[in-house]
Amino acid sequence: MPALSAPKILVHVRNTDATDWIDGIKRWAPDIEAVQLADDRLPDGLDPASIDISVCWRMPHGLHAQLPNLKLIQSMAAGVDHILSDPRRPAEVAIARLVDPWMARSMTHHVVSQILRWHRTLDRFDACKAEESWPTNVIFDPDAVSIGILGMGVLGQAAARALSALGFPVKGWSRSPKSVEGIDVLNGADGLDGIVRTSNAVVCLLPLTTETADILNADLFAKMPSGGFLLNVGRGGHVVEADLLAALESGQLEAASLDVFRTEPLPKGHPFWRHPKIWPTPHIASEINLPTATRAFAETIRRVRAGEVPDGLIDPEKGY
């Protein structure tokens, strides 16, 4: 009987050499053996049965189905839609999202900065500088701002707590009941309706699922108080683009900050680039920090191989 190959992890980052990620994981767990793809295929001479864990970002579809002893597919980010969209994904293999406090802090910084940019009308002062004008009687009323956060996972909860600590009224919404200390969390269709009608700033931190696709649409915008603000840091598929443009043109929405798009990079010539009320950022709201992320991956690998439950396991039926 041939000797069994030593278990290995497969590391893949779409369109990027994964050497730094492999080195980062081995820094925390030097005994781990790791390989990466060669031209989007398994390297020559690799025994597919030796791979027990995949750490990936946008793995080519069908590749995970080639690994008969795969125990876990670990996403390199908080989102797992890039894994669930593979029609040949082995359904019996567990999936985990990245859980890293560094990401929550990064996301919180972005959400807070964009809410304050809107609340403090910083764009207006940029225009004042260009005109060399000095406006008077400028008053900001934080009590006039009501913030609704759609998606109360780790990132949503961190953002909600930070905004609440700044004195803003904050409520959260999730599909199913959830308890978050200090934050009123609504759930279900009625809860979504209630939170949208009372929030003049809506922050989307939802996962992209069949239930949440196109959730930021004309109906939702119409329910918001007039002159509201939209911040989407979830996925581009949450926004119906034509509906957003119409809401901005009518004044129902005052501005929109978008960090994610249906097509990334955002194509040249797209109307979002030119619209004065849209603030685009290049999917940088919650960056992945290699030192802390690779430490989390190393711990996940240890747990899986020890028969323990890793952090961040998702329910494929729910999509998160």
> Could you list the active site residues?
235, 283
303 Cβ contact partners less than 8 Å away, ≥ 6 residues apart: 309, 310, 311
Q: Are 148 and 203 in contact (CB under 8 A)?
A: yes
Phi/psi class of residue 62: alpha, beta or left (left: φ > 0; alpha: ψ in -120 to 50)?
left
Q: How far is CA 25 from the centre of its chain?
A: 22
Residue pair 75/100 in contact (Cβ under 8 Å)? The answer is no
Can you list the pairs that 88-97 forms with residues at least 24 positions away whose Cβ atoms lie under 8 Å? Answer: 88/61, 88/62, 88/64, 89/61, 89/64, 89/65, 90/64, 90/65, 91/316, 93/64, 94/313, 95/313, 95/314, 95/316, 96/72, 96/300, 96/310, 96/311, 96/312, 96/313, 96/314, 97/312, 97/314, 97/320
Q: How far apart, in Å, are the Cα atoms of 208 and each of 28, 48, 204, 213?
A: 32, 31, 11, 6
What are phi and psi for residue 184, nearest 5 degrees? -80, 120
